[in-house]
Amino acid sequence: MTDAPETSQAPQAGGHSQIHRVALKIPPFWADEPELWFAQLEVQFTLGGITQDATKYAYVLSHIETKNAKEIKDLITRPPDHDKYENIKKALIQRLSVSQEQQIR
């Protein structure tokens, strides 16, 4: 089951359908506001019809920088069997928030 950006079909005269692909517009990862970034990412998933856990997980991994990937190395090298996206989302928000608090001190 792949979950590429979904297509929509618009009926055309003569009974033919025209297919439109929806491109995702994912902003660069915001390490200082990961919760806000995930909110915007989920809007893009909705617009693109992305529903598969593995696809969402892959989009996150393809949009985070190395320094942020290091924060979740455990989830990248040994991903959970289920809920990969929710686990990576929770970990990034939690771990980056803790890192920012430590930098402030």
**In order along the chain (105 residues), what is the average pLDDT of each group of 10 residues?**
53 59 86 96 95 96 96 96 98 85 61
Residue 57: the pLDDT is 97
pTM: 0.75
Calculate ∠ Cα 11-43-97, nearest 5°.
Answer: 165
Looking at residue 61, its pLDDT comes to 97
8 in a structural domain: no
Question: For residue 60, what are the domain limits?
Answer: 34-104
Q: Given this model, what pLDDT does residue 102 score?
A: 62
Indicate the number of domains in the chain.
1
pLDDT given at position 97: 87
Q: Is residue 24 part of a domain?
A: no
